Amino acid sequence: MLKSFKKKSPQAKTGIIAFIVVMAVLISYVLYSNLKPEPPVEYEIAEAGYGTITDYLDVNGVVESGVTEDLLAIEGVVVEEVFVNVGDSVKKGDKLATFNVSGAATYLNDAKKAYDKALGEYNDAVSTSNTNSKRKAEIATEVERVSKEIAAKQSEIDALNKELEGVTTETAPIPDEQINQIAMQMVANGSNLMQVKAFKEAAKTVEVPVVDSASSEKQQELLTKNLELAQLNAELSALYAEDATTIVSDESVTKALKSVADTKKAEYDRIKSAYDKMASGWVAENNGIVTQVNIKPGESFVPVKEATSSSVDIASLLGDSVDEETMSLISSLMGGSSTPMGTGIKLESYDDMIVSVTVGKSDLLKTKVGMEAVITSLGTEYKGEVVYVSATASESSGGLDIGSIAGSLMGTGSGAQGAVVKVKIHNPDEKIVIGFDVDIKIILDTYENVLKVPVESVVYDSGTYSVFVFDEEEGTVTKRTVTKGSLDDTSYEIVDGLIEGELVVKSPDPKMEDGTKVAKKNA
């Protein structure tokens, strides 16, 4: 082959050499492409360091007015002027409407009379009950005294009877003149007719020994003591009779009468407040927007819907032990038609805006009144504060939160049940619009000087949390289990498993193994 090559012309020799060189280069390139090592995958690398983590609850809700002015008008008032329409913005102190209130005076007077009557009945019941309670205590003391005197008097009579045993067995009723004489003395001493009558009836049943000359003194003494005993028994019977007729009102009755009086006062105060406001003309009490106008100039007001008045469930207060007379009294006090009232103008305040959201059970336990919040609307952030946390669950109002979404995905949700939390917005402006939804972050806690890494560096697998630690000199990673703590938008707190300054891979491939080569991506 070499002799054949030598015989070639110079041009042929040059072409062959060029061909050989090209083929050698091509073969070398193919071999290099197939056999060269794959370059390591590039990842962003983060350094574990100390800082602050803010734990918050991310929710969404609709803006509401924290203060609603519901200006009530009484049926029969004549509207003179109306200065606003639905949708108008008003400032505190602006005139809204004026009225002629003479047509509502009757309702106000009737409400005052009903209240005065209910209050009078309650005060009378309390006074009577207090007087009777005092007399009950006095009667009990007197009964105890008279009972002791009766026992002592009976002992004296028994002793005399024993002394007179064998003297005579003949007995006779107490003479009427003696009974009448003692009765007259009882009247003179202040005894009432009931006591005197009881004494006479008791005395006529007493049999005393017939007096004879041999023991007249003892028998006379026995007669006197029997008369005294009859008098004491009569006094005791009268006390028992008085006690039975001295009625102390049941606590449930006075409680019911008090509730009726309170209800009538609330009704009167409500009507008087509406009457006084209309008499002086309606003015806005807050800056806000008019959302309802149900009155027209020159027309007598007729409410669209009668305002609901408060009521008392008398049956639940009284139970089954109250007599018909008392029940009839309370029913009559509660009776009468309610004053027809309705909304004339409604304002939603701009000065006091809130956002109501619904949170799940676990989030509710962490949320407290007074916590700070950040509200975002149309790209602007506003400071806020939690002003209300419900103690009971309710149907979801449509607000969304991360916890409830995660719970539903993981099968730990509680259906549509949630608890209402209200957040007040500080210093709202035109970008906070009633009826619009906003994003809220309720700051649950702030953790200072904690070791943290980016949230995307932490991998969850089979109940454990891990990070891939990057060895910058070797260009390799090592998977390491860590214990996480609090978290916020960007960072996890690492309680155990890392030290300050160690490097971790951001958004690692969970399938990486120890020793995997990686490259640090340039920022």
**Whether residues 221 and 132 fall in one domain:** yes
Q: Which residue has the higher pLDDT, 348 or 165?
A: 348
Mean pLDDT of 497-516: 92
pLDDT tier at 408, thresholds 50, 70, 90: very low
Distance CA 127, CA 132 (A): 9
| 105 domain-assigned | no
Tell me, rounded to whole angstroms, the distance of Cα 161 from its chain centroid: 75
E strand or H helix that includes residue 288: strand 288-293
Distance CA 224, CA 227 (A): 5
pLDDT tier at 95, thresholds 50, 70, 90: very high
Place of tokens 């280069």: 25
The 3-state secondary structure of 188-226, one letter per residue: HCCCCHHHHHHHHHHHCCCEEECCCCCCHHHHHHHHHHH
User: Which residue range is the domain that position 459 belongs to?
Assistant: 43-55+447-520
Q: At which of 191, 224, 245 does a domain end?
A: 245
| Residue type, position 472, single letter | E
Mean pLDDT of 148-162: 87
| 279 domain-assigned | no
**Whether residues 356 and 410 fall in one domain:** yes
* CATH code of the domain covering residue 502: 2.40.420.20
| 99 domain-assigned | no
Tell me, rounded to whole angstroms, the distance of Cα 76 from its chain centroid: 38
**Whether residues 143 and 170 fall in one domain:** yes
Can you read off the two tokens belonging to residue 20?
């050989």
| 252 domain-assigned | no
Tell me, rounded to whole angstroms, the distance of Cα 168 from its chain centroid: 84
| 305 domain-assigned | no
**Whether residues 414 and 472 fall in one domain:** no
**Whether residues 150 and 205 fall in one domain:** yes
pLDDT, residue 283, reads 95
**Whether residues 158 and 175 fall in one domain:** yes
Distance CA 283, CA 92 (A): 8
| 256 domain-assigned | no
Q: Using the CB atoms, write b or e for 294-329: b if 16+ within 10 Å.
A: bbeeeeebebeeebeeeebebeebbeeebeeebeeb
**Whether residues 395 and 469 fall in one domain:** no
The 3-state secondary structure of 294-327, one letter per residue: CCCCCCECCCCCCCCCCCCCHHHHHCCCCCHHHH
Can you read off the two tokens belonging to residue 281?
């003309």
Q: At which of 396, 414, 445 does a domain end?
A: 445
**Whether residues 363 and 462 fall in one domain:** no
**Whether residues 225 and 191 fall in one domain:** yes
Helix axes 216-245, 105-163, angle to 10 degrees: 160
Provide φ and ψ at 76, rounded to 5°.
105, -20
pLDDT, residue 318, reads 52
Q: What would you report as the CA-atom Rg of the chain, rounded to the nearest whole angstrom? A: 49
Distance CA 423, CA 354 (A): 5
| 339 domain-assigned | no
pTM for this model (two decimals): 0.50
**Whether residues 378 and 454 fall in one domain:** no
* CATH code of the domain covering residue 415: 2.40.30.170
| 486 domain-assigned | yes
Q: At which of 379, 414, 445 does a domain end?
A: 445
Number of domains in the chain: 4
Can you read off the two tokens belonging to residue 337?
């038609």
Distance CA 365, CA 487 (A): 18
**Whether residues 147 and 226 fall in one domain:** yes
Q: Is residue 523 a contact partner of residue 486, using CB atoms and an 8 Å limit?
A: no
**Whether residues 126 and 24 fall in one domain:** no
pLDDT, residue 34, reads 56
Can you read off the two tokens belonging to residue 88?
């108008």
Q: Is residue 236 a contact partner of residue 143, using CB atoms and an 8 Å limit?
A: yes
The percentage of residues in the chain with a pLDDT greater than 90, rounded to a whole number, is: 28
pLDDT tens track for 108-133: 998 999 899 889 888 887 887 787 77
Least confident of 172-176, 400-404, 484-488, 494-498: 400-404
pLDDT, residue 415, reads 46
pLDDT, residue 439, reads 92
Helix (H, G, I), strand (E, B) or coil at 169: coil
Comparing C-alpha atoms, which of 326, 304, 186 is closest to residue 253? 326
